[in-house]
Amino acid sequence: MDAFVIEGGRPLRGSVRVNGSKNASLPLMAAALLTDEPVTLHDVPRLSDIGNMVRLLEALGCTVERPENAGRLSLHVTDDTRVEAHYDIVRTMRAGICVLGPLLARRGRARVSMPGGCAIGDRPVDLHLRGLRALGAEIHLEGGYIVATSPANGTERLRGRSVFLGGPNGSTVLGTANVMSAAALAEGVTVIESAACEPEVEDLAGMLNGMGAKITGAGTPRITIEGVERLSSVDHTVMPDRIEAGTYVIASAITNGDIELENYPGQTLLALHDRLEQVGVEVTPDEAGDGWRQRVRISTRRRLEPVHVVTQPHPGFPTDLQAQLMALLCLADGNSMVTEKIFPDRFLHVAELLRMGANLTRTGPSVLVSGVGELVGAPVMASDLRASAGLVLAGLAARGTTIIRRVYHLDRGYERMERTLQELGATIERVDQETLA
Ligand SMILES: CC(=O)N[C@H]1[C@@H](OP(=O)(O)OP(=O)(O)OC[C@H]2O[C@@H](n3ccc(=O)[nH]c3=O)[C@H](O)[C@@H]2O)O[C@H](CO)[C@@H](O)[C@@H]1O
Ligand SMILES: C=C(OP(=O)(O)O)C(=O)O
Protein backbone atom coordinates (compact mmCIF):
# COMPACT_ATOMS: atom_id res chain seq x y z
CA MET A 1 0.00 0.00 0.00
CA ASP A 2 1.28 3.48 -0.88
CA ALA A 3 1.57 6.68 1.12
CA PHE A 4 2.35 10.30 0.19
CA VAL A 5 5.12 12.21 1.92
CA ILE A 6 4.71 15.97 1.49
CA GLU A 7 7.05 18.78 2.49
CA GLY A 8 4.74 21.76 2.72
CA GLY A 9 5.24 25.44 2.09
CA ARG A 10 6.03 25.64 -1.64
CA PRO A 11 3.82 27.88 -3.78
CA LEU A 12 2.59 26.04 -6.88
CA ARG A 13 3.65 27.50 -10.24
CA GLY A 14 3.12 26.40 -13.84
CA SER A 15 0.46 24.96 -16.06
CA VAL A 16 -1.42 21.66 -16.17
CA ARG A 17 -4.22 20.19 -18.24
CA VAL A 18 -7.38 18.96 -16.54
CA ASN A 19 -8.11 15.29 -17.32
CA GLY A 20 -11.37 13.81 -18.54
CA SER A 21 -13.98 13.32 -15.83
CA LYS A 22 -14.18 10.14 -13.74
CA ASN A 23 -17.83 10.68 -12.85
CA ALA A 24 -18.77 11.31 -16.48
CA SER A 25 -16.67 8.42 -17.87
CA LEU A 26 -18.19 5.70 -15.68
CA PRO A 27 -21.85 6.02 -16.81
CA LEU A 28 -20.67 6.68 -20.38
CA MET A 29 -18.79 3.38 -20.31
CA ALA A 30 -21.82 1.54 -18.90
CA ALA A 31 -23.94 2.96 -21.73
CA ALA A 32 -21.83 0.93 -24.19
CA LEU A 33 -24.04 -2.00 -23.08
CA LEU A 34 -26.96 -0.35 -24.89
CA THR A 35 -25.66 -1.25 -28.37
CA ASP A 36 -23.90 -4.09 -30.18
CA GLU A 37 -21.88 -1.55 -32.18
CA PRO A 38 -18.51 -0.10 -31.07
CA VAL A 39 -18.41 2.86 -28.68
CA THR A 40 -15.21 4.93 -28.61
CA LEU A 41 -14.48 7.33 -25.77
CA HIS A 42 -11.69 9.91 -25.75
CA ASP A 43 -10.01 11.52 -22.75
CA VAL A 44 -10.92 8.74 -20.32
CA PRO A 45 -8.70 9.22 -17.24
CA ARG A 46 -6.38 6.45 -16.00
CA LEU A 47 -7.86 5.68 -12.62
CA SER A 48 -8.52 2.57 -10.57
CA ASP A 49 -12.31 3.15 -10.84
CA ILE A 50 -12.01 3.12 -14.63
CA GLY A 51 -10.00 -0.14 -14.44
CA ASN A 52 -12.75 -1.64 -12.29
CA MET A 53 -15.46 -0.54 -14.73
CA VAL A 54 -13.44 -2.14 -17.55
CA ARG A 55 -13.34 -5.42 -15.59
CA LEU A 56 -17.08 -5.20 -14.97
CA LEU A 57 -17.89 -4.59 -18.63
CA GLU A 58 -15.59 -7.42 -19.71
CA ALA A 59 -17.44 -9.73 -17.32
CA LEU A 60 -20.66 -8.58 -19.03
CA GLY A 61 -19.44 -9.60 -22.49
CA CYS A 62 -17.80 -6.37 -23.66
CA THR A 63 -14.47 -6.35 -25.49
CA VAL A 64 -12.41 -3.41 -24.27
CA GLU A 65 -9.37 -1.96 -26.00
CA ARG A 66 -7.19 0.71 -24.48
CA PRO A 67 -3.91 1.62 -26.16
CA GLU A 68 -1.08 2.06 -23.62
CA ASN A 69 -0.86 5.64 -22.32
CA ALA A 70 -3.80 6.88 -24.36
CA GLY A 71 -7.06 8.35 -23.16
CA ARG A 72 -8.94 6.39 -25.84
CA LEU A 73 -11.14 3.49 -24.83
CA SER A 74 -13.00 1.30 -27.31
CA LEU A 75 -15.91 -0.78 -26.04
CA HIS A 76 -17.77 -3.36 -28.06
CA VAL A 77 -20.39 -5.86 -26.85
CA THR A 78 -19.59 -9.30 -28.27
CA ASP A 79 -21.64 -11.47 -25.90
CA ASP A 80 -25.00 -10.16 -24.72
CA THR A 81 -26.06 -13.17 -22.68
CA ARG A 82 -24.39 -12.23 -19.39
CA VAL A 83 -26.39 -10.26 -16.85
CA GLU A 84 -24.56 -10.57 -13.53
CA ALA A 85 -22.51 -7.72 -12.02
CA HIS A 86 -20.64 -9.50 -9.26
CA TYR A 87 -20.15 -8.16 -5.71
CA ASP A 88 -16.34 -8.44 -6.02
CA ILE A 89 -16.24 -5.66 -8.62
CA VAL A 90 -19.32 -3.58 -7.85
CA ARG A 91 -18.43 -3.24 -4.15
CA THR A 92 -15.34 -1.20 -5.15
CA MET A 93 -17.26 1.69 -6.73
CA ARG A 94 -20.62 3.32 -6.60
CA ALA A 95 -20.88 3.67 -10.37
CA GLY A 96 -21.09 -0.12 -10.75
CA ILE A 97 -24.86 0.41 -10.35
CA CYS A 98 -24.85 2.20 -13.74
CA VAL A 99 -24.95 -1.13 -15.59
CA LEU A 100 -28.40 -1.88 -14.14
CA GLY A 101 -30.44 0.36 -16.49
CA PRO A 102 -28.58 -0.61 -19.68
CA LEU A 103 -28.73 -4.37 -18.89
CA LEU A 104 -32.46 -4.21 -18.22
CA ALA A 105 -33.16 -2.17 -21.34
CA ARG A 106 -31.07 -4.26 -23.72
CA ARG A 107 -30.98 -7.76 -22.23
CA GLY A 108 -34.27 -7.75 -20.30
CA ARG A 109 -32.56 -8.99 -17.14
CA ALA A 110 -29.99 -7.90 -14.60
CA ARG A 111 -28.51 -9.21 -11.38
CA VAL A 112 -26.38 -6.44 -9.93
CA SER A 113 -24.71 -6.38 -6.52
CA MET A 114 -25.58 -3.48 -4.22
CA PRO A 115 -22.82 -0.96 -4.97
CA GLY A 116 -19.88 0.30 -2.87
CA GLY A 117 -18.11 3.64 -3.23
CA CYS A 118 -16.75 6.20 -0.81
CA ALA A 119 -17.54 5.83 2.89
CA ILE A 120 -19.40 9.13 3.11
CA GLY A 121 -22.57 8.02 4.92
CA ASP A 122 -25.71 6.15 3.88
CA ARG A 123 -26.05 5.74 0.12
CA PRO A 124 -29.37 4.05 -0.65
CA VAL A 125 -30.44 3.06 -4.18
CA ASP A 126 -34.21 3.35 -3.65
CA LEU A 127 -34.57 6.14 -6.23
CA HIS A 128 -32.80 4.08 -8.93
CA LEU A 129 -35.21 1.22 -8.24
CA ARG A 130 -38.25 3.49 -8.07
CA GLY A 131 -37.38 4.94 -11.48
CA LEU A 132 -36.81 1.59 -13.15
CA ARG A 133 -39.97 0.12 -11.60
CA ALA A 134 -41.92 3.06 -13.03
CA LEU A 135 -40.69 1.91 -16.46
CA GLY A 136 -42.26 -1.49 -15.84
CA ALA A 137 -39.29 -3.42 -14.39
CA GLU A 138 -39.92 -6.15 -11.80
CA ILE A 139 -37.27 -5.75 -9.10
CA HIS A 140 -36.49 -7.55 -5.87
CA LEU A 141 -33.46 -7.81 -3.58
CA GLU A 142 -31.89 -11.21 -3.00
CA GLY A 143 -28.70 -11.92 -1.07
CA GLY A 144 -27.26 -8.42 -1.54
CA TYR A 145 -28.16 -8.35 -5.24
CA ILE A 146 -30.71 -6.31 -7.17
CA VAL A 147 -32.55 -8.80 -9.37
CA ALA A 148 -34.50 -7.09 -12.16
CA THR A 149 -36.47 -8.10 -15.26
CA SER A 150 -38.20 -6.06 -17.92
CA PRO A 151 -41.98 -6.64 -18.53
CA ALA A 152 -43.38 -10.08 -19.45
CA ASN A 153 -40.54 -11.87 -17.68
CA GLY A 154 -37.83 -10.10 -19.62
CA THR A 155 -39.31 -10.55 -23.09
CA GLU A 156 -40.76 -7.07 -23.62
CA ARG A 157 -39.23 -3.60 -23.71
CA LEU A 158 -39.43 -1.19 -20.79
CA ARG A 159 -42.30 1.30 -21.13
CA GLY A 160 -41.94 5.08 -21.17
CA ARG A 161 -43.66 6.82 -18.23
CA SER A 162 -43.46 9.86 -15.99
CA VAL A 163 -40.80 9.23 -13.36
CA PHE A 164 -40.21 11.35 -10.26
CA LEU A 165 -36.63 11.15 -8.95
CA GLY A 166 -36.73 13.63 -6.03
CA GLY A 167 -35.39 12.30 -2.71
CA PRO A 168 -34.74 13.70 0.76
CA ASN A 169 -31.51 15.41 -0.33
CA GLY A 170 -32.50 16.38 -3.87
CA SER A 171 -32.29 14.20 -6.94
CA THR A 172 -29.83 11.41 -7.65
CA VAL A 173 -27.03 11.79 -10.20
CA LEU A 174 -26.36 8.13 -11.01
CA GLY A 175 -30.06 7.32 -10.58
CA THR A 176 -30.85 9.87 -13.29
CA ALA A 177 -28.12 8.33 -15.48
CA ASN A 178 -29.54 4.84 -14.94
CA VAL A 179 -33.15 5.74 -15.70
CA MET A 180 -32.25 7.96 -18.67
CA SER A 181 -30.08 5.20 -20.20
CA ALA A 182 -32.81 2.60 -19.74
CA ALA A 183 -35.52 4.93 -21.10
CA ALA A 184 -33.49 5.56 -24.25
CA LEU A 185 -34.51 2.06 -25.44
CA ALA A 186 -37.99 1.98 -23.85
CA GLU A 187 -41.24 1.94 -25.78
CA GLY A 188 -42.81 5.41 -25.69
CA VAL A 189 -41.92 8.64 -23.96
CA THR A 190 -40.35 8.95 -20.51
CA VAL A 191 -40.33 12.23 -18.62
CA ILE A 192 -37.96 12.36 -15.65
CA GLU A 193 -39.11 15.00 -13.18
CA SER A 194 -36.72 16.24 -10.50
CA ALA A 195 -33.82 14.92 -12.57
CA ALA A 196 -30.26 15.65 -11.46
CA CYS A 197 -28.87 18.71 -13.30
CA GLU A 198 -25.21 17.73 -12.94
CA PRO A 199 -23.06 18.31 -16.07
CA GLU A 200 -22.14 14.61 -16.14
CA VAL A 201 -25.82 13.84 -16.87
CA GLU A 202 -25.69 16.30 -19.78
CA ASP A 203 -22.54 14.63 -21.08
CA LEU A 204 -24.25 11.23 -20.98
CA ALA A 205 -27.32 12.59 -22.79
CA GLY A 206 -25.00 14.06 -25.44
CA MET A 207 -23.39 10.68 -26.05
CA LEU A 208 -26.71 8.81 -26.08
CA ASN A 209 -28.07 11.31 -28.63
CA GLY A 210 -24.93 10.67 -30.69
CA MET A 211 -25.95 6.98 -30.64
CA GLY A 212 -29.42 7.84 -31.97
CA ALA A 213 -31.34 8.46 -28.73
CA LYS A 214 -33.91 11.26 -28.56
CA ILE A 215 -33.27 13.09 -25.29
CA THR A 216 -34.03 16.72 -24.51
CA GLY A 217 -33.73 18.77 -21.33
CA ALA A 218 -30.63 17.12 -19.83
CA GLY A 219 -29.02 19.61 -17.45
CA THR A 220 -32.48 20.75 -16.27
CA PRO A 221 -34.85 19.13 -13.73
CA ARG A 222 -37.10 17.77 -16.51
CA ILE A 223 -35.61 15.36 -19.04
CA THR A 224 -37.74 13.98 -21.87
CA ILE A 225 -36.71 10.77 -23.56
CA GLU A 226 -38.49 9.45 -26.63
CA GLY A 227 -37.55 5.77 -26.71
CA VAL A 228 -35.99 4.30 -29.86
CA GLU A 229 -35.66 0.67 -30.95
CA ARG A 230 -31.89 0.60 -31.27
CA LEU A 231 -28.80 2.62 -30.60
CA SER A 232 -25.64 2.57 -32.68
CA SER A 233 -21.92 3.33 -32.75
CA VAL A 234 -20.53 6.59 -31.36
CA ASP A 235 -17.26 8.47 -30.91
CA HIS A 236 -17.42 10.76 -27.87
CA THR A 237 -14.99 12.97 -25.93
CA VAL A 238 -15.52 12.92 -22.16
CA MET A 239 -16.03 16.31 -20.47
CA PRO A 240 -13.19 17.68 -18.29
CA ASP A 241 -13.23 16.65 -14.62
CA ARG A 242 -14.74 19.59 -12.72
CA ILE A 243 -13.76 18.10 -9.35
CA GLU A 244 -10.13 17.51 -10.32
CA ALA A 245 -10.09 21.05 -11.76
CA GLY A 246 -11.56 22.55 -8.57
CA THR A 247 -9.06 20.61 -6.45
CA TYR A 248 -6.12 22.12 -8.35
CA VAL A 249 -7.63 25.60 -8.12
CA ILE A 250 -7.75 25.24 -4.34
CA ALA A 251 -4.23 23.74 -4.33
CA SER A 252 -2.98 26.91 -6.01
CA ALA A 253 -4.88 29.11 -3.57
CA ILE A 254 -3.79 27.28 -0.42
CA THR A 255 -0.09 27.50 -1.39
CA ASN A 256 -0.41 31.14 -2.46
CA GLY A 257 0.57 29.90 -5.90
CA ASP A 258 0.05 31.09 -9.44
CA ILE A 259 -1.01 28.38 -11.88
CA GLU A 260 -2.79 27.98 -15.17
CA LEU A 261 -5.24 25.20 -15.93
CA GLU A 262 -6.07 24.08 -19.46
CA ASN A 263 -9.21 22.18 -20.46
CA TYR A 264 -10.94 23.86 -17.51
CA PRO A 265 -14.76 23.47 -17.31
CA GLY A 266 -15.39 26.96 -15.92
CA GLN A 267 -19.09 26.99 -16.73
CA THR A 268 -19.63 24.01 -14.41
CA LEU A 269 -17.79 25.57 -11.45
CA LEU A 270 -19.60 28.88 -10.94
CA ALA A 271 -20.51 28.11 -7.31
CA LEU A 272 -16.85 27.40 -6.51
CA HIS A 273 -15.77 30.65 -8.19
CA ASP A 274 -18.41 32.56 -6.25
CA ARG A 275 -17.24 31.24 -2.86
CA LEU A 276 -13.57 31.65 -3.75
CA GLU A 277 -14.05 35.24 -4.82
CA GLN A 278 -15.33 35.98 -1.30
CA VAL A 279 -12.27 34.27 0.13
CA GLY A 280 -9.92 36.29 -2.08
CA VAL A 281 -9.16 33.85 -4.87
CA GLU A 282 -9.92 34.68 -8.50
CA VAL A 283 -10.23 32.33 -11.43
CA THR A 284 -9.77 34.35 -14.61
CA PRO A 285 -10.12 32.99 -18.15
CA ASP A 286 -6.94 33.47 -20.25
CA GLU A 287 -8.80 32.18 -23.27
CA ALA A 288 -12.57 32.22 -23.20
CA GLY A 289 -13.00 28.77 -24.77
CA ASP A 290 -16.61 27.63 -24.69
CA GLY A 291 -17.01 27.67 -20.91
CA TRP A 292 -16.66 23.89 -20.78
CA ARG A 293 -13.06 23.87 -22.00
CA GLN A 294 -11.15 27.04 -21.11
CA ARG A 295 -7.68 28.08 -20.04
CA VAL A 296 -7.74 29.90 -16.69
CA ARG A 297 -5.30 31.52 -14.27
CA ILE A 298 -5.73 31.41 -10.51
CA SER A 299 -4.62 34.37 -8.44
CA THR A 300 -4.87 34.73 -4.66
CA ARG A 301 -4.79 37.70 -2.32
CA ARG A 302 -2.34 37.16 0.54
CA ARG A 303 -5.08 37.46 3.18
CA LEU A 304 -7.86 34.83 2.97
CA GLU A 305 -11.31 35.91 4.14
CA PRO A 306 -13.68 33.44 5.83
CA VAL A 307 -16.86 32.36 4.04
CA HIS A 308 -19.99 30.28 4.60
CA VAL A 309 -20.58 27.41 2.23
CA VAL A 310 -23.46 24.96 1.85
CA THR A 311 -23.13 21.94 -0.43
CA GLN A 312 -26.06 21.51 -2.77
CA PRO A 313 -27.04 19.75 -5.98
CA HIS A 314 -25.68 21.36 -9.16
CA PRO A 315 -25.41 24.29 -9.85
CA GLY A 316 -24.83 24.70 -6.08
CA PHE A 317 -21.50 24.10 -4.39
CA PRO A 318 -20.45 20.46 -5.02
CA THR A 319 -20.11 18.09 -2.08
CA ASP A 320 -17.09 16.58 -3.87
CA LEU A 321 -15.15 19.83 -3.22
CA GLN A 322 -16.22 20.33 0.40
CA ALA A 323 -13.17 18.74 2.05
CA GLN A 324 -10.76 20.64 -0.21
CA LEU A 325 -12.44 24.00 0.50
CA MET A 326 -12.45 23.24 4.22
CA ALA A 327 -8.67 22.76 4.11
CA LEU A 328 -8.34 26.24 2.56
CA LEU A 329 -10.71 27.83 5.08
CA CYS A 330 -8.56 26.46 7.92
CA LEU A 331 -6.12 29.23 6.95
CA ALA A 332 -8.65 32.06 6.53
CA ASP A 333 -8.62 35.05 8.81
CA GLY A 334 -11.80 34.40 10.85
CA ASN A 335 -14.68 31.93 11.22
CA SER A 336 -16.22 30.04 8.30
CA MET A 337 -19.18 27.65 8.40
CA VAL A 338 -19.33 24.58 6.14
CA THR A 339 -22.68 22.77 5.89
CA GLU A 340 -23.18 19.44 4.07
CA LYS A 341 -26.65 19.08 2.56
CA ILE A 342 -25.94 16.07 0.32
CA PHE A 343 -24.05 13.65 2.59
CA PRO A 344 -24.50 15.02 6.16
CA ASP A 345 -21.79 12.68 7.54
CA ARG A 346 -19.13 13.44 4.95
CA PHE A 347 -16.62 14.78 7.48
CA LEU A 348 -13.97 12.08 7.97
CA HIS A 349 -11.30 14.67 7.10
CA VAL A 350 -12.18 16.75 10.18
CA ALA A 351 -10.37 14.51 12.69
CA GLU A 352 -7.29 14.37 10.44
CA LEU A 353 -7.18 18.15 9.89
CA LEU A 354 -7.32 18.55 13.69
CA ARG A 355 -4.04 16.60 13.86
CA MET A 356 -2.51 19.25 11.64
CA GLY A 357 -3.50 22.09 13.97
CA ALA A 358 -6.83 23.09 12.42
CA ASN A 359 -9.52 24.52 14.70
CA LEU A 360 -12.79 22.77 13.73
CA THR A 361 -16.01 22.20 15.65
CA ARG A 362 -18.63 19.91 14.16
CA THR A 363 -22.32 20.14 15.03
CA GLY A 364 -24.42 17.69 13.01
CA PRO A 365 -24.10 18.50 9.30
CA SER A 366 -22.08 21.71 9.91
CA VAL A 367 -18.48 22.46 10.82
CA LEU A 368 -17.32 25.76 12.28
CA VAL A 369 -13.88 26.43 10.83
CA SER A 370 -11.94 28.93 12.92
CA GLY A 371 -8.95 30.07 10.90
CA VAL A 372 -5.48 29.42 12.31
CA GLY A 373 -2.19 31.11 11.41
CA GLU A 374 -0.64 27.92 10.09
CA LEU A 375 -1.14 24.18 9.67
CA VAL A 376 1.61 21.85 10.85
CA GLY A 377 2.62 18.63 9.07
CA ALA A 378 1.54 15.36 10.75
CA PRO A 379 0.90 11.69 9.95
CA VAL A 380 -2.73 11.37 8.76
CA MET A 381 -4.97 8.71 7.24
CA ALA A 382 -6.84 8.92 3.93
CA SER A 383 -10.39 7.71 4.54
CA ASP A 384 -12.14 8.39 1.21
CA LEU A 385 -11.38 10.04 -2.09
CA ARG A 386 -12.16 13.73 -1.50
CA ALA A 387 -11.27 13.72 2.22
CA SER A 388 -7.83 12.52 1.09
CA ALA A 389 -7.62 15.32 -1.47
CA GLY A 390 -8.37 17.80 1.34
CA LEU A 391 -5.48 16.33 3.35
CA VAL A 392 -3.08 16.61 0.41
CA LEU A 393 -3.96 20.30 0.05
CA ALA A 394 -3.49 20.86 3.80
CA GLY A 395 -0.12 19.08 3.55
CA LEU A 396 0.99 21.33 0.67
CA ALA A 397 0.37 24.40 2.85
CA ALA A 398 1.57 23.01 6.18
CA ARG A 399 4.89 23.69 7.86
CA GLY A 400 6.99 20.51 7.88
CA THR A 401 6.24 16.97 6.76
CA THR A 402 2.82 15.41 6.24
CA ILE A 403 2.50 11.66 5.69
CA ILE A 404 -0.79 10.49 4.18
CA ARG A 405 -1.38 6.75 4.40
CA ARG A 406 -3.76 4.72 2.18
CA VAL A 407 -3.53 6.89 -0.93
CA TYR A 408 -5.30 4.19 -2.95
CA HIS A 409 -8.39 6.27 -2.19
CA LEU A 410 -6.85 9.12 -4.22
CA ASP A 411 -5.97 6.80 -7.10
CA ARG A 412 -9.72 6.21 -7.56
CA GLY A 413 -10.21 9.80 -8.68
CA TYR A 414 -6.94 11.64 -9.48
CA GLU A 415 -4.67 10.54 -12.30
CA ARG A 416 -1.06 10.58 -11.04
CA MET A 417 -1.82 13.31 -8.54
CA GLU A 418 1.69 13.39 -7.11
CA ARG A 419 3.23 13.84 -10.58
CA THR A 420 0.88 16.70 -11.42
CA LEU A 421 1.74 18.41 -8.16
CA GLN A 422 5.48 17.76 -8.71
CA GLU A 423 5.20 19.40 -12.15
CA LEU A 424 3.75 22.42 -10.35
CA GLY A 425 6.73 22.53 -7.98
CA ALA A 426 5.35 20.70 -4.93
CA THR A 427 7.59 18.45 -2.87
CA ILE A 428 5.54 15.26 -2.74
CA GLU A 429 6.64 11.63 -3.06
CA ARG A 430 4.77 8.35 -3.34
CA VAL A 431 6.37 5.71 -1.11
CA ASP A 432 5.57 2.18 -0.02
CA GLN A 433 3.76 2.58 3.30
CA GLU A 434 5.70 -0.37 4.76
CA THR A 435 8.97 1.56 4.41
CA LEU A 436 7.77 4.31 6.75
CA ALA A 437 8.90 4.21 10.37
C1 LIG B 1 -19.69 8.14 -9.42
C2 LIG B 1 -20.39 9.41 -9.16
O3 LIG B 1 -20.83 10.09 -10.07
N4 LIG B 1 -20.49 9.78 -7.88
C5 LIG B 1 -21.08 11.07 -7.55
C6 LIG B 1 -22.59 10.93 -7.48
O7 LIG B 1 -22.88 9.90 -6.56
P8 LIG B 1 -24.37 9.33 -6.50
O9 LIG B 1 -25.03 9.42 -7.82
O10 LIG B 1 -24.27 8.00 -5.86
O11 LIG B 1 -25.05 10.37 -5.51
P12 LIG B 1 -26.59 10.75 -5.55
O13 LIG B 1 -26.77 11.95 -6.40
O14 LIG B 1 -27.36 9.53 -5.90
O15 LIG B 1 -26.86 11.11 -4.04
C16 LIG B 1 -27.44 12.37 -3.67
C17 LIG B 1 -28.27 12.20 -2.43
O18 LIG B 1 -29.39 11.37 -2.70
C19 LIG B 1 -29.48 10.30 -1.79
N20 LIG B 1 -30.02 9.15 -2.53
C21 LIG B 1 -29.40 8.73 -3.66
C22 LIG B 1 -29.88 7.65 -4.38
C23 LIG B 1 -31.03 7.00 -3.92
O24 LIG B 1 -31.52 6.05 -4.53
N25 LIG B 1 -31.63 7.46 -2.79
C26 LIG B 1 -31.16 8.53 -2.08
O27 LIG B 1 -31.73 8.92 -1.06
C28 LIG B 1 -28.05 10.10 -1.33
O29 LIG B 1 -27.98 9.45 -0.09
C30 LIG B 1 -27.54 11.52 -1.28
O31 LIG B 1 -27.96 12.13 -0.07
O32 LIG B 1 -23.17 12.16 -7.06
C33 LIG B 1 -22.73 12.59 -5.75
C34 LIG B 1 -23.49 13.86 -5.40
O35 LIG B 1 -23.16 14.88 -6.25
C36 LIG B 1 -21.22 12.79 -5.74
O37 LIG B 1 -20.78 13.08 -4.43
C38 LIG B 1 -20.51 11.53 -6.23
O39 LIG B 1 -19.14 11.81 -6.43
C1 LIG C 1 -17.87 10.15 -3.89
C2 LIG C 1 -17.23 9.99 -5.03
O3 LIG C 1 -17.22 8.87 -5.78
P4 LIG C 1 -18.21 7.61 -5.61
O5 LIG C 1 -19.58 8.12 -5.81
O6 LIG C 1 -17.76 6.67 -6.67
O7 LIG C 1 -18.01 7.06 -4.23
C8 LIG C 1 -16.44 11.10 -5.59
O9 LIG C 1 -16.05 11.02 -6.77
O10 LIG C 1 -16.15 12.06 -4.85
What's the CA-to-centroid distance between 313 and ligand 2, angstroms? Answer: 14
Is 309 strand, coil or helix? strand
What structural domains and CATH numbers belong to the chain?
Answer: 2-19+240-435 (3.65.10.10), 22-237 (3.65.10.10)
In the β-sheet with 84-85, what is the strand arrangement from edge to edge? 84-85, 109-113, 145-149, 138-142
Q: Write the residue with the smallest CA distance to atom 21 of ligand 1.
A: 172
What's the CA-to-centroid distance between 167 and ligand 2, angstroms? Answer: 18
Q: Write the residue with the smallest CA distance to atom 16 of ligand 1.
A: 172
| Tens-binned pLDDT, residue by residue, of the chain (437 aa) | 999 999 999 999 999 999 999 999 999 999 999 999 999 999 999 999 999 999 999 999 999 999 877 899 999 999 999 999 999 999 988 999 999 999 999 999 999 999 876 778 888 999 999 999 999 999 999 999 999 999 999 999 999 999 999 999 899 999 999 999 999 999 999 999 999 999 999 999 999 999 999 999 999 999 999 999 999 999 999 999 999 999 999 999 999 999 999 999 999 999 999 999 999 999 999 877 788 999 999 999 889 999 999 999 999 999 999 999 999 999 999 999 999 999 999 999 999 999 999 999 999 999 999 999 999 999 999 999 999 999 999 999 999 999 999 999 999 999 999 999 999 999 999 999 989 87
What's the CA-to-centroid distance between 315 and ligand 1, angstroms? Answer: 15
Is 62 labeled as catalytic in the residue annotation?
Answer: no
- 152: region left, alpha or beta (phi > 0 left; psi from -120 to 50 alpha): left
Q: Which residues pair with 405 in a beta bridge?
A: 3, 381
- Residue 127 counted as an annotated binding residue: yes
- Active-site residue (options: 98, 118, 197, 330): 118
Q: What is the ipTM, given to two decimal places?
A: 0.99
CB 386 less than 6 A from any atom of ligand 2: yes
The model carries a pTM of: 0.97
Q: Write the residue with the smallest CA distance to atom 36 of ligand 1.
A: 320
CB 230 within 8 A of CB 213: no
Q: Which of 22, 50, 120, 123 to mutate to test the pocket of ligand 1 (most atoms within 8 A of CB)?
A: 123
